[in-house]
Chain A
Amino acid sequence: MAIFSVYVVNKAGGLIYQLDHYAPRSDTEKTFSFPLDLVLRPRDERVVVAFGQRDGIRVGHAVLAINGAEVNGRLTADGKDLSPEVGSSGIEMLETDTFKLHCFQTLTGIKFVVLADPRQAGIDALLRKIYEIYSDFALKNPFYSLEMPIRCELFDQNLKLALEVAEKAGPFGPGS
């Protein structure tokens, strides 16, 4: 749910690997009048339905927005402005209200880019893990040529496994 895509870019800037990992999210919109039949409770920085299932809204569903204003379980929303810095060595993170783009550049010039849900934590650890998986299953495959598109089955499998681990850990991140 929370990690949307993974891209690997080689030294020359060419895309050598792409994985799209969307999962269907079910959204329900409903109009309520005061008083609400649902019992809501804050949990994990989200506001979650605790009691009062009806019409496709089940216990555990999180409130995404009220009248169009996004709900994030806190009194004030994070407003991170994109401010370009002088002398930066490359993009590390780009945040929008629908996704966060994380980029990790290795000393050898390979870039790993992950698009994830803004609330997903542990992406730094995930990027390091993807680097390990790349160094194991792509580079140690003697038939894989460097800088070429990665077509290694083992790389795919292990990457998907790592994404699942990261997603399951949710907002707390893996291995904490």
Chain B
Amino acid sequence: MSRPPGRKQDSHKISRELFVLTYGALVAQLCKDYEKDEDVNSCLDKMGYGIGIRLIDDFLAHSDVKRCRSYSETADMIAQVAFKMYLGVTPSVNCSSAAGNEFSLILDKNPLVDFVEELPVERASLCYCNLLCGVIRGALEMVHLAAEVTFLQDRLKGDAVTEIGITFLRRAEDKKAKKK
């Protein structure tokens, strides 16, 4: 392909501040609507899932990447191409299991929390960026990769770094069983 990856420059750009404020307003409203942190987290995850299942085709259409041949390639693709394309940051990837199906993305910078210092006391277990987990989960599901995506560490909760864990699950059909 002679065309370079990445979309052409649109004539109008939307400001990053507006995006961050919109996300903040979304989380704030959910906090008003739901008392429990778990409910807010699961709502953010569901919204993210709805975004992810649509975003994956946008990603594939505009980045012109080939099929990944391993979980490790997939994790690298998410960190180095997808995060870069949509959020402008490149998390680093660690493989955290010998089986090769658990990975974590360590985010140095997270534009969504630029203006957030720390969580309020009554919202101690809120995963502020849980939308991102849903997005990754939804996107992977559309390319037939079932995965569990959660926040392992969160700077907003006092941890040293923000870490997203991706665990690839075995597919429902087992090829060995088919042969038998």
Contacts and interface: CB of A to CB of B under 8 A. Distances in A.
B171 to A, nearest CB: 15
B54 A108 contact: no
A77 interface: no
Nearest to A108: B142
Interface of A: 106-110, 128, 131-132, 134-136, 139-140, 146, 175
Interface stretch (B25-33, B55-63, B110-118, B154-162): B55-63
Interface string B31-49: 0000000000000000000
B53 interface: yes
Contact of A107 (B54, B58, B60): B60
12 contacts: A106-B57, A107-B60, A107-B143, A108-B142, A108-B143, A131-B61, A135-B54, A135-B60, A135-B62, A136-B58, A139-B57, A140-B58
A interface: dominant SS: loop
B interface: dominant SS: helix
A135 B143 contact: no
Contacts of A109: 142, 144
Contact of A139 (B3, B58, B67, B144): B58
Contacts of B61: 106, 128, 131-132, 134-135
B134 to A, nearest CB: 15
B85 to A, nearest CB: 13
Given A110-B57, A135-B62, 16 more contacts: A106-B57, A106-B61, A107-B143, A108-B57, A108-B142, A108-B143, A128-B61, A131-B60, A134-B57, A134-B61, A135-B54, A135-B58, A139-B58, A146-B53, A146-B54, A175-B3
Nearest to B67: A107
Contacts of B53: 146
**Residue of B57, B62, B144 ringed by the most chain A CB atoms within 10 A:** B57
Nearest to B65: A107
**Residue of A108, A140, A146 ringed by the most chain B CB atoms within 10 A:** A108
A106 B67 CA distance: 10
Interface string B60-98: 111010010000000000000000000000000000000
Contacts of A110: 57
Contacts of B3: 175
Contacts of B56: 108
Contacts of A107: 60, 67, 143
Contacts of A175: 3
Contact of A131 (B54, B57, B67, B142): B57
Query: Which are the 4 A-B pairs with shortest beta-carbon distances?
Result: A135-B57, A139-B54, A135-B61, A135-B58
Nearest to A140: B54
A108 B60 CA distance: 9
A106 B63 CA distance: 13
